[in-house]
A and B are shown apart, each in its own frame.
Chain A
Amino acid sequence: MFENISLFMQLIYTSIAEKELQHLIRERVYFKRVVVPVTLDLTSLNGQQNPFQNTDYQFVELNSEDLQANTRTFSTRSRYLKALRSINNGLRGFVLLKDGKVISDIWCVAPQGADTPIRHPDLDMLGITCDSGDAYAEFIYIDPAYRGKKLAVPIFLSLLLTLKREGWRRIYAYYYEDNISSKWMHWMLKFEELPKLSLSRFFFFKKTQKFISAKPSIERNHS
């Protein structure tokens, strides 16, 4: 609980510093926002090369040793705390490095892939059950100084290719219907939409449900 409050305070501080407080509040207080769960068959990714090959960027996995030794330089304290909390909660994090600094982080979890199955709250919210070959992409963050540089799709694609190489078969994610950039990114990566949901949130409290579209666009059982 203390960790959550500390992270939240850091988020507020960072948002004020980056003049994004209004955005932070909009992301944490809303009523009946439309959520679109999506999925992608990772085996359908054929022929794509590492998007950061022969560039100044490096896409690498984070581990707890890196974080504890502070060998990765995050742009803000809140990103570091979020990374630490996510790793401790069993999530896998990957970062994009430029000149040794973390300019983006992306997170995923394989609920059935750990020794002890991980119960991710988003999956309950979205009504998704991950099978043994499934993963869930939780979040992507890009440092404001690097937004608009066409990095989001290559970062996400790097994650997908990494998971595919490791043998994962399917990935789930979601976006808000009013987030046009996120929506477009998932389309570029050829994600398929699942039935939409309505979500209300007041800071830490979320209330989902009410399927807006009744018919799923694809079958959910992919085992």
Chain B
Amino acid sequence: MQTIEETLRTFIAENIIFSSDGFPYTDETSFLENGIVDSTTVLELVLFIEQQFSISIKDSEVIPENFDSISCLAKFIKSKA
């Protein structure tokens, strides 16, 4: 079974950065600083997380502290579970 981090890495690699070599960054790499997730794809990411992990995300929870890296996201998802 995939960990939360692995699930996120796979989704971002395949659907957001379209990488054939997996997620080519560390789990701490900033999405904002590196333009990994942009203003459109952040919506896809929110939708995926809600569906994949059966959680509801409020607009006010979409903040850099929760969404700026794989590590931040995994921590946020675990806190909502």
Contacts and interface: CB of A to CB of B under 8 A. Distances in A.
Interface residues on B, range: 10 to 19
5 contacts: A148-B40, A180-B43, A180-B46, A181-B43, A184-B32
Contact of B59 (A148, A150, A177, A187): A177
Nearest to B34: A188
A150 B64 contact: no
Interface residues of A, number: 15
B62 A153 contact: no
Interface string A172-188: 00000110111111011
Interface string A184-204: 110110000000000000000
B59 A180 contact: yes
Contacts of B35: 153, 188
B68 to A, nearest CB: 9
Contact of A180 (B32, B62, B64): B62
Interface of A is mostly: helix
B39 interface: yes
Nearest to A178: B59
A127 B32 CA distance: 28
